[in-house]
């Protein structure tokens, strides 16, 4: 099965359509599938729902799709650092479904394991619990959360082999593996593709069974918040 493609546009060919649910990896500005997001922007598809920890910033990550108004809904944990996101949400142009961070990660992971729902205490007694089934276990109240079964997953890793086994670096590992697992099709972009068999099996973070298409590219190394002090 061919998994390696020449570029992001080729890797997404035949996969994109309006009204899709897309799971996107990334944590802050780490591990964002920037090349695939740019290709989605260039494709012109619209009315997209994104499940992602955050929406990047105004000119990076999912933020570039907010600028072109290709996103109709965000399923997220954190939406700071993005003025256009705030403007669209407050004006009613963008729908937002808030999730506690651990709940969002588990909704993705659960779907990747074929689990349609699970109970958690997180959010009980808050607006997060409104409209959700409540159930008691051992005298404690839990709410039902549903798995996120995405039409497409897009993720960014550090290394891959030609069969799609992925290795992530540091914080980029947080949301990328569960995001990759929950899509019907997963497309990954990486900094380096190495020959099959050259990765240590014990060091693989996501097995290639979850990855359907793969590209290698050049990536930015952005800093979300830079704090410096004056020299004395």
**96-155, pLDDT tens digit by residue?**
999 999 999 999 999 999 999 999 999 999 999 999 999 999 999 999 999 999 999 999
Please give the pLDDT value at position 224.
Answer: 65
pTM, two decimals, is: 0.92
CA distance linking residue 19 with residue 17, whole number of Å:
7
Q: How confident is the model at residue 222 (pLDDT cuts 50, 70, 90)?
A: low
CATH topology of domain 8-216: Glutaconate Coenzyme A-transferase (3.40.1080)
CA distance linking residue 45 with residue 83, whole number of Å:
23
Where do the domains of the chain lie? 8-216
**141-163, pLDDT tens digit by residue?**
999 999 999 999 999 999 999 99
Pick from 39-48, 84-93, 218-227 the range whose average pLDDT is largest: 39-48
Question: Which residues sit opposite 119 in a β-bridge?
Answer: 144
Report, as an integer, the average pLDDT of 65-87. Answer: 91
Over the range 146-170, which residues count as b (16 or more CB within 10 Å of their CB) and which as e? ebbbbbbbbbbbbbbbbbbbbbbee
Would you say 183 and 23 are in contact if contact means Cβ atoms under 8 Å apart? yes
Is the torsion defined by CA of 198, 202, 204, 207 positive or negative?
Answer: positive
**How distant, in Å, are the alpha carbons of 44, 53, 108, 130 from that of 56?**
19, 9, 19, 27
Which of 156, 164, 182 lies closest to 37 in space, CA to CA?
156
CA distance linking residue 61 with residue 24, whole number of Å:
10
């Amino acid at each position: 099965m061919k998994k390696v493609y020449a570029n992001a546009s080729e890797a997404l060919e035949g996969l994109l359509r309006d009204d899709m649910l897309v799971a996107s990896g990334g944590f802050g500005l780490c591990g964002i599938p920037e090349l695939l997001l740019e290709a989605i922007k260039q494709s012109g598809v619209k009315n997209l729902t994104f499940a992602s920890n955050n929406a990047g910033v105004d000119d990076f990550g999912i933020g570039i799709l907010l600028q072109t108004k290709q996103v109709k809904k965000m399923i997220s944990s954190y939406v700071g650092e993005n003025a256009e996101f705030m403007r669209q949400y407050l004006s009613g142009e963008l729908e937002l479904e808030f999730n506690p961070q651990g709940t969002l990660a588990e909704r993705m992971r659960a779907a990747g394991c074929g689990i349609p729902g699970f109970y958690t205490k997180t959010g009980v007694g808050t607006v997060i619990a409104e409209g959700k089934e409540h159930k008691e276990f051992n005298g404690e109240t839990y709410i039902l959360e549903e798995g996120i079964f995405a039409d497409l997953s897009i993720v960014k890793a550090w290394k891959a082999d030609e069969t799609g086994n992925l290795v992530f670096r540091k914080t980029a590992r947080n949301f990328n593996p569960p995001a990759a697992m929950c899509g019907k099709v997963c497309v990954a972009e990486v900094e380096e593709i190495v020959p099959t068999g050259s990765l240590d099996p014990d060091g693989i973070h996501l097995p290639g069974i979850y990855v359907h298409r793969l590209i290698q590219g050049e990536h930015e190394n952005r800093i979300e918040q830079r704090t410096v002090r004056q020299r004395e």
